[in-house]
Amino acid sequence: MTKTSISVVRGRGCDPGSPCQGCNGTGCTYNDIVVVSESSEVRLVPRGGGSFRLEKSLNASIQSAANHQYLRGLCEEKTLYASPNPEKITIYSYKSTGVFRGMPVVLNLTQSNCYLRCYKEGDRVFLQVETCEKQRLKKISKSDESTLSFLFYMQKGPTKHRKFESALHQGWFIHILDTDLVGMANLDGRQEEQSFIFIIQK
């Protein structure tokens, strides 16, 4: 509030302890506080808000537990596939202010401005490789779907097992579709299915 003034207004009435006809024989002194401002601003913070701030990075290869091949991306073709040859992927981890569902991460094709992201068409979620300025991903807001689509929750399993869930589309995970294609799929109770499990090779 700007140019705010506070006034105490004391009403006329009987002194406390004195008989008074208008107050049923009791004291009737009234005090009001009046606050007046030239202008004010009310901000609404939506429920479920929060943000993710970049914390650290790790260069590693991500290997599928299903076929022992490695994630590899082609930025020009916007596709991700499994390859027998290891390829470095930079895993950027974030500090979250929201509810913990796993380690928030962004997956980058090392030494490039190409990242994995999710998008939805109809009832299905798809995975693609897309360019993005690194500066835009230093801090990600839950209210900004354009940057939140690059974020995944890396969930830790037994030993070195990891799953990657879309932060924007809950319940959809990175998944080996067949021998070499990589996409997104809903677990549907398939918690231990190998095609959803990956191993981080440093």
Number of other CB atoms surrounding residue 176 within 10 Å:
24
Asked which of 9-13, 44-48, 131-135, 186-190 is least confident by mean pLDDT, the reply is: 44-48
Span 164-193, average pLDDT: 88
- Residue indicated by tokens 């037994």: 158
Tokens of 184: 């997104």
Span 85-91, average pLDDT: 95
pTM: predicted TM-score of the whole model, two decimal places:
0.74
Please give the CATH topology (third level) of the domain spanning 51-201. Trefoil (Acidic Fibroblast Growth Factor, subunit A) (2.80.10)
Which residue would you say has higher pLDDT here, 125 or 19?
Answer: 125
- What is the Cα–Cα distance from 198 to 70, expressed in whole angstroms? 9
| Residue-range domain boundaries for the chain | 5-36, 51-201
H/E segment holding residue 82: strand 79-83
- Closest to 64 in 3D by CA, of 174, 189, 186: 174
